[in-house]
Amino acid sequence: MFGDFIGTDPPIRIDQWVSQHLSISRSEATKLIDNGDVTVNGCRVKSSRKVGTSDSLSVRRTVQQESPETPFNGLLLPTIIFDDTDIMVIEKPVGWTTHEVHAGQRGVFLTHWLVAQFPDVFSFESGLRPGIVHRLDQQTEGLMVIAKHRAALENLKDQFKNRSVIKGYYAAVKGNILSDELVIDQPIARASRGHKMVVSPTGKPAISVVTVLERYHSMTIVKVSPKSGRTHQIRVHMDFVGHPVLGDPLYGKSTQRYGQRLQAYFLEFSHPRSREVLQFEQPLSPRIKS
């Protein structure tokens, strides 16, 4: 990809612009800028320089991009399940981080793919999470709704905040759960150290309804309906009752390469414009049962 381009409104750092529009990492973008392959108004600049609509950007080196038919950095691409002028529903594969937490973070991000594939759509927000209403953990696959403009974003955020969105997950957990249904009503708080969440009396209320689908010798396939939206809720709750999600490197102490066997298979919400109730459901992923 090469040619002449116009900056964004509001202005953003040039390394962020190059990363988003050329679908490359921030470090690769910095190298192009430092080498003089990207200029602003005909001049070499530092990667921290912000560019706006009054700036003309020139890219003079062809950047090899992944085609939509091939994996992105070795990962399967997201699948678009539903798409209209207001929202997009996608199926996020395993391995994709939803968005950057801080600028320059390493990884393969869903937001980078969205901006690279649909730059005109997701230019309405220049931060680290354009269109993102909710998130899935990196090694959790499944359904996500994406907002395509600010009004839709705010409407969907309100629906999640008001707990009117219905979510469903499939999981493979360790051991056999004796009861056919289990209600886990335990508050969750952030651990004093590290990135873990824990069950704690000082935490925020969290309820997960677990339904057994199939039992095997050393694992159980379950359906989980979270009635709240705490970080790592299903992973924390299942570990608390002695049935951690298989493959979970954080709570199940697993060293498996492909992460926790957890799938967001069901999503129900109201369309932000028409108010029609939309339901999306995916079949059990082979990865969960394997």
Active site annotation includes 137: yes
- CB pairs under 8 A, 24+ apart, for 277-281? 278/82, 278/89, 280/81, 280/82, 280/89, 280/143, 281/168
Residues composing the chain: 290
Q: Are 144 and 136 in contact (CB under 8 A)?
A: yes
Q: Are 165 and 212 in contact (CB under 8 A)?
A: no
Instruction: Verify cis geometry, omega within 30 degrees of 0, for the bond prior to 68.
Output: no
**Among candidates 89, 76, 81, which has minimal Cα distance to 133?**
89
**Among candidates 30, 60, 64, 62, which has minimal Cα distance to 48?**
30
CA–CA distance, 15 with 7 (Å, rounded to integer) = 12
Q: Are 90 and 114 in contact (CB under 8 A)?
A: no
User: For the chain, how long is the longest CA-to-CA vector?
Assistant: 69
Which residue out of 15, 137, 239, 248 is catalytically annotated? 137
Cα angle 231, 237, 242 (rounded to 5 degrees) comes to 145
Q: What is the identity of the amino acid at 8? A: T
Is residue 190 helix, strand or coil?
Answer: strand
Q: Are 173 and 244 in contact (CB under 8 A)?
A: yes
Which residues are designated catalytic?
137
